[in-house]
Amino acid sequence: MDTFSKYLLTGLICLVALGQFVQVVTRYLLQIPVMGLEETMLYPTIWLYILGAVNASREDTHIRANVLEIAIKTERGHTVLAIIGEIISLTVGLWLLSWAWEYTQYAWRVWKESPTLYLPTFYSEVALVAGLGLMMLYTAVHLFRHINALRAGAAK
Amino acid sequence: ADLKMSHVRPQDTTIDKELRAFATQVTEATGGDVSINIFPASALGDYTTVQERISVGAIDMATQPAAAAADRRMQISSFPYLANNWDEARKIYGPDGPVRNVMAELYAKQDITMLAAYPVYFGGIALNTDPVSPGDPSQSNGIKVRVPGIKSFQLTGEALGYIPSPIPFSEAFTAIQTGVVDGVIGSGAEGYYASFRDVTKAYVPANTHFEVWYMIISNGSLAELDAEDQEALKTAAADFEAQRWTVAEEDQGKWEQRLSEELGAKIVDLSDDELSAMAAKVREDVWPVVLEDVGADWGQGILDQIGK
Amino acid sequence: MIEIALLAIAVLVLTLTLGVPLPYCFGAALMIMYFLGDVTMKGMMLWGSQQLGNPVLLAIPLFVLAGTIMSASGIAASLLNFVNAFIGHIRGGLGVVAAVSCAIIGAISGSGLTGIAAIGPLLIPEMEKRGYPREYATALIANSSILGLLIPPSVTMIVYGWVTDTSILACFLATLGPGLLIMFNFSAMNLWMSRKFDLVLDDTPSFSQLAGDVAKKGFNATPALLMPVIILGGIYGGIMTPTEAAALSVIYALPVGFFIYKGLKWNSFLDAGKEAATAVGAIMVMILFSMILSQMFVYEGIPQQMVSAIFEITENKVLLLIFINILLFLVGMVVNDVTAIILIAPLLLPLMQAIGVTPVQFAAIMGVNTAMGGVTPPYASILYLGARIGNVKVTKVIPPAMILILTGYVPVVFLTSLWPDLSLFLPRFFGY
Ligand code: NA
Ligand code: NA
């Protein structure tokens, strides 16, 4: 999974860099900008953002301000705090997911197209619901992990 | 009811003032039942997003260009060189004009009611460099111009002899200022004055397209008003449009004059022959492609009504 | 409605304090606006995700990736050696090297983390060997690392320009003056502090030795030194948009890292890509939901209500600026830079314009304050990363860091607010 995500994310980010690079080269050196490149790059860009966020959930490296964690000294305290955090994340995240689902249904129904090449934009729009879904899955995994740690701690 | 209306220009611009006057009129006509809150400068999102949000009923109203993402046929509204002068424009886009009627139908498919058309200007080309044979579309002039990411504008730029470069609007000003490109296609004198005034050294009034905005309202928001208020709103909108048609041409001249007098921009004087040559070239190069995109039969049907 | 908005912000701060990941903190605030304030969520996901599609934002992952590659590849080490050749032998010189190297790295990377990540592992042990206390060395490099956000390119300025519709190039230039001033403050402060350290110094080299060393290390550093030239020259010279320059910096850094400095290996390259993508993903979902919250505020006219509420207290410009700096300092203590800008900039810009502060000067005010937020506890992401890299306890780094913040940042924060020319001189010079 780790290797897979490395290749996937590095591939996406390099693809995006390459797309921008091609735009400079064609405009500046060849004087013939590629039409529709920008709208094509939207797909890897959005998926890069969303899958990057999913990976942050997987690795549990989302940005957080661990203010209270510094004040709490015990291992058990940290685990309880983490459980509270994950429960809030899960509640809020599922609510957001329901709105992302609404958005996806809308995108499916309207089936928008990009302005020059008429590519269906649904394939980038669906990233949000997919990403939030996976993020919730990983959040749930972390929640169970913390609960197990708390149980194991209590059993000792 | 408390309605939110978005538009794309900054506060205190012509359209902003006209819309505020419209809002006041609506409040008076409905005896205070309906108040319209104006959100200038795309504060609620750019026009493509706003149109979608109106379609789902998240925003009530807007006065803005038509966005073709949900229905590519909406491109008919900014079809290049459809109208050649203000009289033709009024016949095509004004009350009961063929394009306006078909746009109302297309909006209806997105749960949106069109209340009025708002003629803005004929489009032109703003340059931050000296024009190179601006009246002759038969050869390339080597000038790189920013075009919006819309196919018909890109093709039009090319047909008129420029090197079109699709750069997002958010980066366009900087791109011209630093010299990544030397001009812009896709707007008109007023638009260039609003967004590109510091980088406009010359203006080519090539009449590339007729810019028309539409005052639209979400069907859901409209349905919440009682019949009387709906009628008052529609009447006010019709007045708003009628008023605009009387001043639009003069307004366009005024903005060209401001470009020239306030900024010292050179306004290129194109002869009728030059304008016809440009129109002919674009019709020949661009129309077949764009017609194909919107559906050749459907598009030709509208062109037939216009007599083109 | 303003009460509901304040409640939403309170919930945001509360969940933040509990250690909930930032995207969900914003989600919790959205829930307050939705359930208690009755603001529609309809179409908000659509709006938010279309904001993410803005190509301007694409510069962020690319500048971050350029920074990550730089730390992995030895590009940073060559810069460090070069700067060291000039002043390494002077008493306190190594500390100055830290500040100046971070500034140069800042001209390549758009993030405040690159400096500490790239030169912390090299310079902290070296400084300790030469007699600087380890926690002081860590604090100094972490503080200097933030110059990455003040010296263009800068992620925070891209975000500021994007949310307030201000020229990003002008914003870049606005923080450059204050950034250089902070670099100067740190250097001066370091020279003064090092009087008390028991330092091991190299013999002062003869002029010819010095010249030879500078020439040799300068030659080595040339491919690295070309990076800022390409990026900033490309942007201000009219060849590329900032996003394209960011892409080019990545494309350029790859062969330089793989074949010239050879520090970049296939695996470290993959790691760099994954790390940058993950960091950016975390930023982007946070941006998504904070933009939605910000849009709800606009939708309900909260910024205008805030301006009138504040004007009822005072309309005195100096007082308001001091008040805003204190507010931003408090915000910076608990929130990260990008978040602070997305939330605060649209709320306060109308107020700033009402008291005659231009959007470009406000960019500098926000830029300096939010950069400082990276090292002010309790939430001091850059300082904590520094502590991890320097392998010292957070509590040990905080005292020297506070001295540097008070002497290096705080004066510049007030200067930036009260002396507009400091931030406006360069943008004006370039015609913005
Ligand atoms: Na930087
Ligand atoms: Na902080």
DSSP helix/strand/coil, A106: helix
- Amino acid identity of residue B15, one-letter, is I
Q: Which of B43, B56, B180 sits opposite C240 (nearest CB)?
A: B180
- Residue C260 phi/psi, 5-degree rounding, is -90, -55
The contacts of residue C245 (CB under 8 Å, 6+ apart) are C59, C153, C230, C231, C232, C234, C235
Task: Please state, in angstroms and rounded to a whole number, the distance separating the CA atoms of residues C35 and C37.
Answer: 6
Count of CB atoms within 10 A of residue C40's CB?
15
Task: Please state, in angstroms and rounded to a whole number, the distance separating the CA atoms of residues B183 and B173.
Answer: 10
Give me Rg for the CA atoms of chain A.
Answer: 21
Task: Please state, in angstroms and rounded to a whole number, the distance separating the CA atoms of residues B152 and B159.
Answer: 10
Spans of chain A below 50 pLDDT:
none
Tokens 């250089």, residue located: C180
Centroid of chain to Cα C296: 27
- Burial of B267: CB neighbours in 10 Å, binned 0-12, 13-18, 19+: middle
- C60 Cα: distance to centroid of ligand 2 (angstroms): 21
Please give the ipTM for the structure prediction. Answer: 0.89
In the sheet where B144-147 sits, what is the strand order? B163-166, B144-147, B183-187, B124-127, B202-204, B266-267
| Subunits adjacent to chain C (3 or more Cβ pairs under 8 Å) | A, B
The contacts of residue B44 (CB under 8 Å, 6+ apart) are B4, B6, B50, B53, B59, C295, C298, C299
Question: C-alpha distances in angstroms, B214 versus B86, B230, C46, C361?
Answer: 17, 17, 22, 37
Torsion, Cα of C252, C258, C260, C263 (10° steps): 120
The contacts of residue A30 (CB under 8 Å, 6+ apart) are none
Condensed to tens digits (0 to 9), the pLDDT of residues C3-45 reads 999 899 899 889 988 889 989 999 999 999 999 998 889 889 9
**C-beta separation of C257 from C223 below 8 A:** no
**C-beta separation of A54 from A131 below 8 A:** yes
Nearest CA in chain A to C380: A65
Task: Please state, in angstroms and rounded to a whole number, the distance separating the CA atoms of residues B106 and C391.
Answer: 64
Q: What are the beta bridge partners of residue B184? A: B126, B146
**C-beta separation of A56 from A62 below 8 A:** yes
Task: Please state, in angstroms and rounded to a whole number, the distance separating the CA atoms of residues C88 and C119.
Answer: 15
- Residue B119 phi/psi, 5-degree rounding, is -70, 130
Task: Please state, in angstroms and rounded to a whole number, the distance separating the CA atoms of residues B23 and B39.
Answer: 12
Task: Please state, in angstroms and rounded to a whole number, the distance separating the CA atoms of residues B212 and B80.
Answer: 12
Q: Whose atoms come closest to the Cα of C176: which ligand?
A: 1
Q: Six-digit token pair at C67?
A: 């920074």
Task: Please state, in angstroms and rounded to a whole number, the distance separating the CA atoms of residues B247 and B286.
Answer: 31
Spans of chain C below 70 pLDDT:
none
Centroid of chain to Cα C327: 19
B139 and chain C in contact, CB less than 8 A: no
Question: C-alpha distances in angstroms, C209 versus C80, C86, C87, C213, C277?
Answer: 18, 11, 13, 6, 44
Give me the long-range contacts of C398-405 (CB less than 8 A, separation at least 24).
C398/C139, C399/C135, C400/C133, C400/C135, C400/C136, C400/C139, C400/C140, C401/C139, C401/C142, C401/C143, C401/C375, C403/C189, C403/C193, C404/C139, C404/C140, C404/C143, C404/C186, C404/C189, C405/C143, C405/C372, C405/C375, C405/C376
Shortest Cα–Cα distance, A4 to chain C (Å): 10
Mark yes or no for CB contact C56/B179 under 8 Å: no
Shortest Cα–Cα distance, A98 to chain B (Å): 16
Count of CB atoms within 10 A of residue A155's CB?
6
The contacts of residue B284 (CB under 8 Å, 6+ apart) are none
Q: What are the beta bridge partners of residue B64? A: B214
Q: Which of A46, A67, A92 sits opposite C17 (nearest CB)?
A: A67
Say what the pLDDT of residue C222 is.
87
In terms of Cα–Cα distance, which of B134, B150, B95 is closest to B269? B134
Which chain B residues in 20-49 lie under 8 Å from chain C, judged by CB atoms?
37, 39, 41, 43-46, 48-49
**Residue positions counted in chain B:** 308
Task: Please state, in angstroms and rounded to a whole number, the distance separating the CA atoms of residues C380 and A67.
Answer: 9
Mean pLDDT per 10-residue interval, chain B, length 308 residues: 92 91 96 94 89 94 94 92 94 94 96 96 95 91 89 92 85 84 93 89 95 97 96 96 95 94 93 94 94 93 86
- Burial of B2: CB neighbours in 10 Å, binned 0-12, 13-18, 19+: exposed
DSSP helix/strand/coil, C1: coil
Nearest CA in chain C to A99: C45
In terms of Cα–Cα distance, which of B97, B98, B82, B88 is closest to B156? B82
Element spanning B164, H or E: strand B163-166
Asked whether the bond before C378 is cis by omega within 30 degrees of 0, the reply is yes
Task: Please state, in angstroms and rounded to a whole number, the distance separating the CA atoms of residues C339 and C22.
Answer: 9
DSSP codes, C296-312: HHHHTTHHHHHHHHHHH
Condensed to tens digits (0 to 9), the pLDDT of residues C36-79 reads 998 889 889 998 988 888 887 888 888 888 888 887 888 888 88
Task: Please state, in angstroms and rounded to a whole number, the distance separating the CA atoms of residues C367 and C422.
Answer: 13
- A44 Cα: distance to centroid of ligand 1 (angstroms): 25
Task: Please state, in angstroms and rounded to a whole number, the distance separating the CA atoms of residues C242 and C59.
Answer: 7
